[in-house]
A and B are shown apart, each in its own frame.
Chain A
Amino acid sequence: MAKKKIHIENTVRRLRFNNNEMTQGQLAELVGISRQTVVAIEKYKYTPSLELAFKIALAFNKEIQEVFYIGK
C-alpha cells in the first residue's frame, strides 16, 4: 500500500447545527473533551482517536463514516 498521507475531514460542524444548533461546549461535554479540541477537530487541525471518533458519531446518532471521511 502506498505511503500516501490521508487527510481526514468531518461533518461535525454541520451536524452540530442540524442538532438544534448544539454549541461546541455542549458537544465537548457530551463526549468528555475540551471545547478547544472540538474547535481543532472542526478545523481539521486534529484528527481524533478511533474511540473519540466513535463517541462523536454516537453523540449525533450517526455511523462513524457519516461523520469522518477521507478528504481530497
Chain B
Amino acid sequence: MNIDMNIKIRNTLTEIIAVAIAITWMYSKLNAAANMSIASITQVLVQGIGISILAAIFFAIVIAIVSAIITKSKEKNVIDERDNMIEFYALRLSNVIFGISLLIILALLGWFNLPINFGIIAITLSVFLASICSTFLKIYLYK
C-alpha cells in the first residue's frame, strides 16, 4: 500500500474495507436466512451495520497512525468546497442506486412471491451496495 497516497482516497478506502468486513460477517451469519425468524435476521443486519461503522472508525485511526509514523508528518484532513462537491455527487449516486435497488426488490417480492426475509436482507445489502458504489465514485473523482 502506498502510504503517500492521497489522504482522501485513503479515508475512502477504509470505508470500503469496513463495508467488506461487515458484508462478510453478515454473510456468514445469514447462511440459513430462509429458516431464520425476522427478529434474528434484523438483529444480524443491525449488528452488521454497527460493525461496518466501528470498522470504518478503527481502520481510519489505524491507517492515519501508520501513515503518520511512516511519513513522519501528519497531514491535515481539511474539508473544502471540492470535497463537498464530491460528497454531493457520491450522495446523489448512492440515492439513485438505493432507489433503483428498492424498486427492483419490491418488484421481485411482489411478482415472485419471495419471502420477506429475502426482502429485508436485500434492502440492507442494497444500502451497502449504494455505499460501495459511492465510495468508488469518490475514489475516481479524487484520483
A-to-B contact residues, CB < 8 Å: 28, 32-37, 40, 46, 48-49, 52
Contact = CB atoms under 8 A, between A and B. Distances in A.
A49 B81 contact: yes
Given A34-B8, A36-B6, A36-B8, A46 B80 contact: no
Contacts of A52: 80-81
Interface string B56-88: 000000000000000000011111111100000
Contacts of A32: 78, 80
Interface residues of B, number: 13
22 contacts: A28-B78, A32-B78, A32-B80, A33-B80, A33-B81, A33-B82, A34-B7, A34-B76, A34-B77, A34-B80, A34-B82, A34-B83, A35-B75, A36-B8, A36-B82, A36-B142, A37-B83, A40-B82, A46-B82, A48-B82, A52-B80, A52-B81
Contacts of A36: 6-8, 82, 142
A48 B81 contact: yes
Contacts, number: 33
Contacts of A35: 75
Scoring B7, B76, B78, B79 by chain A CB atoms within 10 A of each residue's CB, the highest score goes to B78
A56 B13 CA distance: 30
B61 to A, nearest CB: 20
Contacts of B7: 34, 36
Contacts of B82: 33-34, 36-37, 40, 46, 48
Contacts of A49: 81
Contacts of B142: 36
